[in-house]
Structure 1
Amino acid sequence: MPDQATPTRPFAARHPSVLWFIAALALFTLGVTVLSEATGVGLISTSFVKTLGKMLCLCLVAIAMDVVWGYCGILSLGHFAFFGLGGYAIGMWLMYARTEQIVLDQMTNEVLPPTGTEIKDAIGAQIFGVVGATDFPVIWAFSHSLTLQLLMVVLVPGLLALVFGWLAFRARVAGVYLSILTQAMTLALALYLFQNDSGLRGNNGLSGLQNLPGLESVPQAQVSIWFFWGSALALGLGYLLFAWVVSGKIGSVIRGIRDDEARVCFLGYNVEGYKLFVFTLTAVVAGVGGALYYPQAGIINPAEVAPIASIYLAVWVAIGGRGRLYGAVIGAALVSVLSSWFTGGGAPDVDLGVYTIRWTDWWLVLLGVGFVAVTLFFPKGIGGLFDLVAHRVAPVRVGDYGPDDGAKRKEEGPAE
């Protein structure tokens, strides 16, 4: 007889790893807060607090990537594009509101008070003068409203993922063909954004995003810790959301789609609907991560949504261990911090006499070597090492769940 009490147990009791992660995240957030310049003893600089805040945002999009790839089996090479769209959405409001303040200050001493049209024209000239334009494009129609632009953070990535996913899944595109298609979507978006007439300032992108309108007198140390808290909260909520999704019936179905899509379809499940739900939900969460990331970075340009960024995202998840939410966090956190250290001048150059190794030039080579090494020697990623530490080595039995000899039992984890 199955244990009837198990389904009624609290979610946290059935998934203790979620509690461990939330506790670790809370402890990490508290530690950074105590050591920061704004609210603590000042042992951590403002720039490093921003680096850590950006790291948390990258962990959030890595979790989204892990759900769509590690759990559902869709290798999307375009999810960082949704991340960038979230950044563009919030960046439009930041640029508009900050430029509006500058324009109003300049017009204060004029004899005749400016009209609304004159103010808007002056704002447009300030923002788009760099690309030789003055008029506001249609896509900036809601840039004056923080509320509406926050909605765009969710709606724009979500609608793009919904339309793209509906067309792709309805056409039964899968496997490597779907990966190529997502990469093509990302490339098309990046090429469009590089154009000066895209309405988003082309190659110049949106800049000065770290300056919050109305809070110019607040030091950057304080602003950075605020964004760090927001990033930590978003990561915690995102982790809880996806842990809930992958642990219930939806999680069982999407893992079934990953392992044997045809069988799940024959069982009567709407495979396209489940894939579309996962693809759209993860795109929305990625957009939220981008909206928190780029105000900390201070600038966003089309290079941020180039296909290579989404490939890096897949590498992070593979290194951390796909199919494990905490593995995606480990991979993104480790690679992003090491990237900042090696490319930011933290790692000292190595003088070999005939040649000097400068890590700013060799970081990508090091990342590639690390990716190959993890793939060869730790196929389950760094997160898989926790299985060994906890003495939970994968069982030798394979196949589907069932009572027959050689079949895996429910308590031993997902079927192969």
Structure 2
Amino acid sequence: MKNTFIARNPSVLWFLAGLAIFTILVTVMSEATGLGLISTSFLKTLGKTLCLCLVAIAMDVVWGYCGILSLGHFAFFGIGGYAIGMWLMYARTEGIVLTSLEANALPPTVTEITDAVGGQIFGVVGSSEFPMIWAFSHSLPLQLLAVVLVPGLLALVFGWLAFRSRVTGVYLSILTQAMTLALSLYFFQNDTGLRGNNGLSGLQNIPGLEDQSQAVVSLWFFWASAIALALGYVLFAYVVSGKFGSVIRAIRDNEARVRFLGYHVEHYKLFVFTLTAMVAGVAGALYYPQAGIINPAEIAPIASIYLAVWVAIGGRGRLYGAVIGAALVSLLSSWFTGGSAPDINLGFYVIKWTDWWLVLLGLSFVLVTLFFPKGIGGIFDALAKKTPPDREGDFGPDKGAWRNEEGEPS
């Protein structure tokens, strides 16, 4: 029993129990159940926060455990959002078109419906033709596959090219940031059909659920986000435990030594980079229907930098630390930038938090880096720290002696 996954990772049960209690409490207090202590808008905020926690865990695995500071993982998050957003736009527009054509004497042909849908979606950019990337937007199963496969394939190709060339450190970070910038600029172009800076909007209107209130739909998405976060946490806890977890932590600490020991470092890094990208895509697919809109600004390089800040504040190299950092910063951001935080009048100057929030976030990152390198998660480590065994003797092999690898007693 001591070698079971749960025995080696007791924090998993604690996390799942806490998430389950939180989900139940939010459900009971939501408008959908009639109590109404939590508004639908705040319920959406909580659901989106769970999605951000999931992508933060992915970022923590690739950076905190494997040592790859990726400044492009929010791009995978955005790709997942665009993949599901294209189907939502197509299906909702198709419903509107079919309703408007019901009065015609003759039933519309498939071509007429497709042209009408294209005109409605792409008219804002002066076109009615479906671009190539919209080829499967009519099919929900195919778009759901794209949510996972497109980020995974992009990460696989990018990672293979970068890791086989042994690009590491700040140079790899710059490359991932360049990839993110290139994607955001590509999404801005009109020929992608993604409507440029306007983005894809109205994503909160789910086709087939028009009869359901937004309170109910938001609660369903909140449940889906909670389930995805729970599964993602268990998945990554399993990945970072055991021999595989030891190897990727060794790669983080001393890649050259791991390579010298005969491990294929590139394979490990590529697996972690690709898997975390796919999970980030799932998180994005759940996030943007709750946000209601996605545009290229959402995946600009600064978004991936924010993601790294969340992980650093929460505690790099700790899955629960990534969750704490993402949840804390996300909720505080909503509070400060949403107008809920009161302005502070200093007499000679009025501090408006909508203008100063990013300054506060940057200052928090600097302070955590300088004085609390283990982040908020380090507090839990200190509380759970085990005292050294009560042993006497030297560093020899005798029974009861201190082993050399155990170090000096504190």
Residue 315 (structure 1) aligns with: 309
How many correspondences in the alignment? 399
The one of 32, 57, 78 equivalent to 1:84 is 78
Q: How does 1:330-349 map to 2 (within 5 A)?
A: 330-349=324-343
Letter in 2 for 1:167: L
Deviation for aligned residue 1:352: 1.5
- Structure 1 residue 285 and structure 2 residue 276: aligned? no
Letter in 2 for 1:323: G
- Structure 1 residue 364 and structure 2 residue 364: aligned? no
Provide the C-alpha distance between the structure 2 equivalents of 1:12 and 1:405, rounded to a whole number of angstroms: 29
Provide the C-alpha distance between the structure 2 equivalents of 1:306 and 1:406, rounded to a whole number of angstroms: 51
The residue matched to 2:227 in structure 1 has which SS? Answer: helix
Deviation for aligned residue 1:409: 3.8
- Structure 1 residue 271 and structure 2 residue 285: aligned? no
Letter in 1 for 2:284: G
Q: How does 1:72-221 map to 2 (within 5 A)?
A: 72-221=66-215
Deviation for aligned residue 1:392: 4.3
Provide the C-alpha distance between the structure 2 equivalents of 1:384 and 1:341, rounded to a whole number of angstroms: 25
Deviation for aligned residue 1:388: 2.0
11-20 or 305-314, which deviates more: 11-20
Cα pair 1:209 1:295 within 8 Å, conserved: yes
Provide the C-alpha distance between the structure 1 equivalents of 2:372 and 2:127, rounded to a whole number of angstroms: 53
Deviation for aligned residue 1:407: 4.7
Provide the C-alpha distance between the structure 1 equivalents of 2:283 and 2:404, rounded to a whole number of angstroms: 40
Residue 256 (structure 2) aligns with: 262
Instruction: Name stretches of at least 5 consecutive residues in structure 2 with no aligned partner.
Output: 390-395
Cα pair 2:200 2:295 within 8 Å, conserved: yes
Identity of aligned residues (%): 79
CA distance 1:239–1:405, change in 2 (3 Å)? same
Cα pair 1:316 1:335 within 8 Å, conserved: yes
Provide the C-alpha distance between the structure 2 equivalents of 1:254 and 1:292, rounded to a whole number of angstroms: 29
Q: How does 1:237-256 map to 2 (within 5 A)?
A: 237-256=231-250
Deviation for aligned residue 1:321: 0.3
- TM, length-normalised to structure 1: 0.93
Letter in 1 for 2:95: Q
The residue matched to 1:200 in structure 2 has which SS? Answer: coil
Deviation for aligned residue 1:338: 0.1
Deviation for aligned residue 1:394: 10
- Structure 1 residue 11 and structure 2 residue 13: aligned? no
Q: CA RMSD of the aligned region, Å?
A: 1.8
CA distance 1:40–1:389, change in 2 (3 Å)? farther
- Structure 1 residue 25 and structure 2 residue 13: aligned? no
Residue 63 (structure 1) aligns with: 57
Cα pair 2:73 2:304 within 8 Å, conserved: yes
Residue by residue over 1:241-291, the C-alpha shift from the partner in whole angstroms, topping out at 9 and shown as x without a partner, is 000000021101100100111111111111000000000000000000000
Provide the C-alpha distance between the structure 1 equivalents of 2:213 and 2:387, rounded to a whole number of angstroms: 50
Residue 381 (structure 2) aligns with: 387
The residue matched to 2:258 in structure 1 has which SS? Answer: helix
Cα pair 1:387 1:393 within 8 Å, conserved: no
Letter in 2 for 1:302: P
Instruction: Name stretches of at least 5 consecutive residues in structure 1 with no aligned partner.
Output: 396-401
Provide the C-alpha distance between the structure 2 equivalents of 1:40 and 1:147, rounded to a whole number of angstroms: 34
- Structure 1 residue 327 and structure 2 residue 321: aligned? yes
Provide the C-alpha distance between the structure 2 equivalents of 1:92 and 1:306, rounded to a whole number of angstroms: 19
Deviation for aligned residue 1:14: 2.0
Cα pair 1:196 1:202 within 8 Å, conserved: yes
Letter in 2 for 1:88: Y
Deviation for aligned residue 1:393: 8.0
Letter in 1 for 2:298: E
Cα pair 2:133 2:192 within 8 Å, conserved: no
Provide the C-alpha distance between the structure 2 equivalents of 1:391 and 1:166, rounded to a whole number of angstroms: 39
Residue by residue over 1:123-146, the C-alpha shift from the partner in whole angstroms, topping out at 9 and shown as x without a partner, is 000000000010001111111110
- TM, length-normalised to structure 2: 0.94
Deviation for aligned residue 1:216: 1.1
Residue by residue over 1:172-213, the C-alpha shift from the partner in whole angstroms, topping out at 9 and shown as x without a partner, is 100110000000000011111111122211111111000000
The residue matched to 1:38 in structure 2 has which SS? Answer: helix
Provide the C-alpha distance between the structure 2 equivalents of 1:182 and 1:394, rounded to a whole number of angstroms: 42
